[in-house]
Amino acid sequence: MSATPTTSTPSAGQHRLRHVLGQWLFHLYGFAGYAFFYLPILILVIFSFNDSRSVSKWAGFTLRWYEAMLQDRQIMLALWNSVFVAVVSTAIATVLGTLAAMALERYRRFPGRLIADITLYLPIIIPDIAMAIMLLAFFNLSGIGLHIWKVHFFGVRLAVPISVIIGHVAFNISFVAVVVQARLAQMDRTLEEAAQDLYASPWRTFWRVTLPLMMPGVLGGALLAFTLSLDDFVITFFTSGAGFNTLPVRVFGMIRKGVTPKINAVSSLMLGFSLLLVTLALLAARGREERKVGFF
C-alpha cells in the first residue's frame, strides 16, 4: 500500500474507538431484536404462573391456572380436536404434496407447467381470509357442507370435521410440496438410474432409493404442515360447523369473555409444544447434515 500518514487519516486510537462502538451498537441491535420478539412471550409465560386474576400485577407463584385448564373439558376437547385435525391433515397433505413435488420436479416441461406452479404456490401467498371464504363457498356449493362425521374406529367414537380437514389439507399441500421440491432439486438423478441399472423396478427404486433420500424434505414438510395446522385460526373458524372448536378457536372464544391467566396457561402449553417440534426438526436436520459432510 502506498498510503502515507496524513492529517486526515484517523489515529489508531480513533480506529479502536470506532471499532468498539460499532461492536457495541451491533450487539445492542441484536439484543433489541430478540427482546422485541421474545419479551411478550416471556411475560405471557410468567403470568401464566401468577396467583391472581390480574394480567399486569404479580401476586406470587401458582399452578392453579394449569389445573383449571386441565379440568376444563372444553379446552381439553379443543386440544384433542386440534391434534386430531393436525395429524390427519398432515398425513394426507404430506402424501399429496410429496407426489405433487415429484411430478413437478420429474416432468420439468409440459404444457401448463407455469399454471401448475402458480396454483401450487397460491395457497402460500393468498391471505388466509380469502382462502377461508373460498373454502366456505366451496363446501356450500358442492354440498359437502360443514358436517361433522361420526365414525366408529375400533370401538372409539370419533368426530371427524371433514370440512376442516379438507381445508387444512388444501393449504398444507403447498407447503409440503415446496419443501420436498427443494430437497428433490438437489438430489442426484443418477442415483435412481443406478438403482434401475441394478435391476430395481421403478416401484422398488422409489422405496429403496428415492424415498430414503428425500425423507429429510418429507419430514420437514410434514413438521411444517403439522405446526401450521395446529396454529391455524382463520380457516378453521370459517370451515368448522357449529360446536366444533380447535384450540385456537376455543381461545378466541374465551378471550371475548375477558383475558384470564387460564388463557396464558393454554398459550404457554401451545408454545411449549411448538418449541418441542421446532427443536425436533432442527435436530433431525442437523443429524442429516453431519452424515452428509464430506460427501459433496
Partner 1 sequence: MPDASSAAVELRDVVKRFGDVVAVDHVSLRIAPGEFFALLGPSGSGKTTTLRMIGGFELPTEGEVLIEGEPQGYKPPYQRPVNTVFQNYALFPHMTVAQNIAFGLEMRGVPKEEIRRRVSEMLDLVRLSGYERRRPHQLSGGEQQRVALARALINRPKVLLLDEPLGALDLKLRKAMQLELKAIQEQVGITFIYVTHDQEEAITMANRIAVMNKGKVLQVGTPQEVYEQPQTFFVADFIGDTNFLPVQVMQVTAPVEVMTESGTRLTASWAEPTLRTGVKAVMAVRPERMHLYRPGSGPEGPEWNRVEGIIRQVIYKGLDIRYEVFVAGECSLHVRMPVGRSEGTFQRGEHVIVAWPRAAARVFRSES
Please tell me the distance from the alpha carbon of residue 275 to that of residue 286, in angstroms, as a whole number.
16
Nearer to partner 1, 200 or 271 (CB): 200
Please tell me the distance from the alpha carbon of residue 208 to that of residue 60, in angstroms, as a whole number.
57
Residue 198 beta carbon to partner 1: minimum distance, rounded to whole angstroms:
4
CB 238 within 8 A of CB 136: yes
Residue 285 beta carbon to partner 1: minimum distance, rounded to whole angstroms:
16
Nearer to partner 1, 7 or 197 (CB): 197
DSSP, residue by residue, 144-197: -TT-EEEEEETTEEEEEEHHHHHHHHHHHHHHHHHHHHHHHHTS-THHHHHHHH
Residue 209 beta carbon to partner 1: minimum distance, rounded to whole angstroms:
6
* Interaction pattern, residues 198-237, with partner 1; x per rule: CB under 8 A: xxxx--x---xx--xx------------------------
Nearer to partner 1, 127 or 294 (CB): 294
Based on the shown chain and the rule CB under 8 A, indicate whether residue 103 belongs to the binding site for partner 1. Answer: no
Based on the shown chain and the rule CB under 8 A, indicate whether residue 35 belongs to the binding site for partner 1. Answer: no
Place of cell 413435488: 101
Nearer to partner 1, 22 or 202 (CB): 202
Which 178-197 residues touch partner 1, going by CB under 8 A?
188, 190-191, 193-197
Residue 191 beta carbon to partner 1: minimum distance, rounded to whole angstroms:
5
User: Under the rule (CB under 8 A), what is the footprint of partner 1?
Assistant: 188, 190-191, 193-201, 204, 208-209, 212-213, 291-295
